[in-house]
A and B are shown apart, each in its own frame.
Chain A
Amino acid sequence: MSRAAPILTVLLAIVVIWYLAAIGMNAQWAQDQAARAGTELSTQALIADTMTQDRPVLPTPHQVAVGLWDGLAGQAITSKRSLVWHGWVTLAATLAGFGIGSAAGILLAIGIVHDRAMDQSVMPWAVASQTVPILAIAPMVIVVFASAGVTGLLPKAIISAWLSFFPVLVGMVKGLRTPDAMQLDLMRSWSASRAQIFWRLRLPSAMPYLFASLKVAIAASLVGAIVGELPAGATSGLGARLLSGSYYGQTIQIWSALFTAAALAAILVAAVALVERITLRRMGLAR
């Protein structure tokens, strides 16, 4: 209870601020409507109205909750209005992008650590790739793939991988370089090959770094997948829900999709953290 109290206090504060903001932001529209109808709104009626609009500037927490519930549980999961279905579409692209991105990051890191030329040439390009706004890249990737006849999951996964390879690359370069001079000298004194040094010393040493960067990468993958859905004609996925919501002023729909994405990110990061705990404990690195 003593640990739950501060968390609940913060949560309660956020909800209260949210309600106050909703009343303030939605009041203008309510008053415009009343003025147009030639009526005068009492304070009580005004507050009630700000909480029940169809397209509020800022929906109240309970409206979002209802929208979320309806999207998650109120629809058949094959329905185009189901957040489960849209979430699944995004999740598939996220996981594919995470796989591609992590593999690319790990392979590039291995190259950088073992090859002088790669060490000096790859990193500037990797950094440059991350300074280009992903929103500018995404449509080009979609268009290029579409012209080759590839649509759907793969182009989204590529955009997702674009964001997720970088943290893995940086973490793995650092991790593969953690063994100190003495440990490398020991290996040398045994005339160990590079492959033996990699599998027996560098890779195990890098595991804590790998998992730390995988947690960042999987969240970035989700962002990439959602961004990849925006220019794709917006038919499926959480990104599509966000886009169509903004087209039609369906703010409740936008917020519901946002919360679904946030929950999805939390679940994915927690899943990586679980694998991390099991792996490191089995390796004897966590106790």
Chain B
Amino acid sequence: MDLTINRGEFVSFIGPSGCGKTTFLRAIAALETPTGGSLTVNGMTPDQARRARAYGYVFQAPGLYPWRTIAGNIALPLEIMGFSKADRRERVERVLGLVELDGFGGKYPWQLSGGMQQRASIARALAFDADILLMDEPFGALDEIVRDRLNEALLDLWAKTGKTIGFVTHSIPEAVYLSTRIVVMSPRPGRITDVIESTLPRERPLDIRDTPEFIAIAHRVREGLRAGHADEA
């Protein structure tokens, strides 16, 4: 597979379980070592990029510490990276605003709904101003209504911050709705079957999903997924 992701893009990786989309994301994050090939992140090796705090990573579960408040959780990477106390406070306030959790900083994770917890974990990934946001099925554990709402909020956030986002998902509508580019992958061996440039405008209200253009892209993703399975069946 050969792929270049440009600055400011929103790239989704979609494919069945076992196609390596999560592994690929983890390789970008230097949480996994590739067995071969070359991979550069902002012109560095993934490991250097990790040390340079090039990315924030969001997992499927929020992974908030129950013994820390929301503000304390968001401040955690900042403490580890050695930001000053005043700087930490200012950053926590700012990212809480970005994910629309103003006023929830003093609450403990169990006092928040699942969707709010996941937003807090996104805030935590944003707090140290990495250029890249890597998200591994961040909304996979949430119900569809919350997921729609968060998808909309994520697009809004992306427009405001101009981050490069790598997004792993199982959901075709989610991938089409969010992405500027969709990478369709197939399993055994993991490879890319199709890369789709989205023709949708950057401004995307939720009802864009009923337009013929959206349906056409979703159809192409589905075709790509089917092609990946063809040699198995």
Residues of A participating in the B interface, judged by any CB pair closer than 8 Å: 182-183, 185-192, 196, 200-201, 204, 207, 283-285, 287
Asked if residues A189 and B50 are in contact (CB atoms below 8 Å), the reply is: yes
Chain B 26-52 interface mask (CB, 8 Å, partner A; 1/0): 100101000000000000000000110
Asked if residues B50 and A200 are in contact (CB atoms below 8 Å), the reply is: no
Q: How far is the CB of B133 from chain A (nearest CB, A)?
A: 12
The segment from B77-85, B87-95, B217-225 found at the interface with A is B77-85
A189 with B29: in contact, given A182-B59, A284-B108, A287-B110 (CB under 8 Å)? yes
User: Which partner residue on chain A sits nearest B32 by CB separation?
Assistant: A185
Docked CA distance A187–B57 (Å): 10
Q: Which residues of A contact B110 (CB under 8 A)?
A: 287
Docked CA distance A200–B80 (Å): 9
Docked CA distance A88–B80 (Å): 46
Docked CA distance A183–B64 (Å): 9
Docked CA distance A186–B31 (Å): 9
Docked CA distance A183–B61 (Å): 10
B153 at the interface (CB under 8 A from A): no
Residues of B participating in the A interface, judged by any CB pair closer than 8 Å: 26, 29, 31, 50-51, 53, 55-57, 59, 61, 63, 65-69, 76-77, 79-81, 108, 110, 128
Q: How far is the CB of A35 from chain B (nearest CB, A)?
A: 72
Q: Which residues of A contact B55 (CB under 8 A)?
A: 189
Asked if residues B63 and A191 are in contact (CB atoms below 8 Å), the reply is: no
Q: Which residues of B contact A189 (CB under 8 A)?
A: 29, 31, 50, 55-57
Docked CA distance A266–B194 (Å): 69
Q: Which residues of A contact B56 (CB under 8 A)?
A: 189
A185 with B65: in contact, given A200-B80, A287-B110 (CB under 8 Å)? no
Asked if residues A204 and B80 are in contact (CB atoms below 8 Å), the reply is: no
Q: Which of A190, A204, A207 contacts B77 (CB 8 A)?
A: A190
Docked CA distance A201–B77 (Å): 12
Q: Which residues of A contact B69 (CB under 8 A)?
A: 284
Asked if residues A182 and B31 are in contact (CB atoms below 8 Å), the reply is: no
Most buried by A among B55, B80, B81, B108: B80
Q: Which of A182, A188, A283 contacts B67 (CB 8 A)?
A: A283
Asked if residues B51 and A182 are in contact (CB atoms below 8 Å), the reply is: no
Q: How far is the CB of B70 from chain A (nearest CB, A)?
A: 11
Q: How far is the CB of B87 from chain A (nearest CB, A)?
A: 16
Asked if residues A186 and B57 are in contact (CB atoms below 8 Å), the reply is: yes
Asked if residues A188 and B53 are in contact (CB atoms below 8 Å), the reply is: no
Q: Which of A183, A207, A285 contacts B63 (CB 8 A)?
A: A183
Q: A188-B50, A189-B55 are in contact. List 7 more A-B contacts (CB 8 A).
A: A188-B31, A190-B53, A190-B80, A190-B81, A191-B51, A191-B53, A191-B81
Nearest first, the 5 closest Cβ-Cβ pairs linking A and B are A283-B67, A189-B57, A190-B77, A192-B80, A284-B108
A182 with B61: in contact, given A191-B51, A285-B67 (CB under 8 Å)? yes
Docked CA distance A187–B65 (Å): 12
Docked CA distance A201–B26 (Å): 21
Docked CA distance A108–B96 (Å): 41
Q: List 23 A-B contacts (CB under 8 A).
A: A182-B59, A185-B26, A185-B31, A186-B57, A186-B63, A188-B31, A188-B50, A189-B31, A189-B50, A189-B55, A189-B56, A189-B57, A190-B53, A190-B77, A190-B128, A191-B81, A196-B80, A200-B76, A200-B79, A200-B80, A207-B67, A284-B68, A284-B69
Q: Which residues of B contact A287 (CB under 8 A)?
A: 110
Q: Which of B29, B67, B76, B81 contacts A284 (CB 8 A)?
A: B67
Q: How far is the CB of B13 from chain A (nearest CB, A)?
A: 18
Asked if residues A204 and B50 are in contact (CB atoms below 8 Å), the reply is: no
Q: Which residues of B contact A196 (CB under 8 A)?
A: 80
Q: Which residues of B contact A190 (CB under 8 A)?
A: 53, 76-77, 80-81, 128
Docked CA distance A187–B59 (Å): 12
Docked CA distance A265–B65 (Å): 34
Q: How far is the CB of B54 from chain A (nearest CB, A)?
A: 10
